[in-house]
Amino acid sequence: MKSVKCIILGFLIAGALFISCFNPFFPATGGPFFSFAKPEDVITELRNSYESQELDRFDSLFYDIDSFRFFIGINSDINLKNISKTINVINLDTHFLPKGSYLFLNYSDEKKIHNNLFSNSESIKFLGGLFCRVEYLIPDTVTDPSRFDTTEAIIYTNNAQIEIKSTVLLKEFTSEEQVFTIKEQRFLVKKNKSRQWKIFYWYEPNLS
């Protein structure tokens, strides 16, 4: 099954396919569209940004554009040279990702991808919604009693289906309207100084 990121990457260009599988999932800072009072609100607004195809809404999801990373397994067969001039590799051993080496996209890569996805699509719809579960990362209040507030969480989304209507799809399919399966997505979200939950890291475990 084609991954979300693999599908979306195809919208980076309108004329040719440059990755081994065809390409659909998921900016100057715009004003607040949504109250991110709970971690789950990040997923609600992520879905809203896709369905409204508004870059400002998508852009409002991020905790910090300099720190943001979209992680890809080191064995992925996606060619990232058409996105970044440099292929970034990082070694990690964290509570968010399994120990190992990862390629990653940065904020500017994601902005480029989503600008092309939104601008080249007639419509984007999640069929049956986009649901998630939240795992709060409890702070160490034993050694540091002042850390009473939970400020980090991991969000796991369910498998979902996304329907994209775009003439770009005709380069790979017989119809400009296709339904794709989105497998689990994983997000590390943090509460910012305004006490709004935002995306810090994004990982698609099944990307290959």
Among candidate residues 131, 165, 158, the one with its CA nearest the CA of residue 24:
165
208 is a domain residue: no
Domain membership of residue 147 (yes or no) is yes
Q: Contact 33/60 with Cβ under 8 angstroms? A: yes
8-state DSSP, 151: -
In whole numbers, what is the pLDDT of the chain averaged over residues?
A: 79
Q: Pick the residue with more confidence: 72 or 190?
A: 190
Total domain count, the chain: 1
Residues 6+ apart with CB under 8 A from 164: 7, 24, 121, 123, 124, 177, 178, 180
In a domain, 44, yes or no: yes
* Residue from 145, 193, 191, 194 nearest 38 by CA: 191
Domain interval for residue 63: 4-203
- The tens digit of pLDDT for each residue in 148-179 reads 678 899 999 999 999 999 988 888 888 999 99
Continuous segment of H or E residues that includes residue 191: strand 186-191
pTM, two decimals, is 0.80
Residue 21 falls within a domain, yes or no?
Answer: yes
3: left (phi over 0), alpha (psi -120 to 50) or beta: beta
On whether residue 142 sits in a domain, the answer given is yes
Query: What mean pLDDT comes out for the span 22-42?
Result: 63
| Residue 9, φ and ψ in degrees, nearest 5 | -60, -25
Q: Of 3-7, 41-45, 131-135, which gets the smallest average pLDDT?
A: 3-7
Angle at 22 between CA 55 and CA 169, to 5 degrees: 70
- Mean pLDDT value of segment 125-137: 91
Instruction: Please give the Cα distance from 110 to 9 (Å, whole number).
Output: 9
CATH of the domain at 27: 3.10.450.50
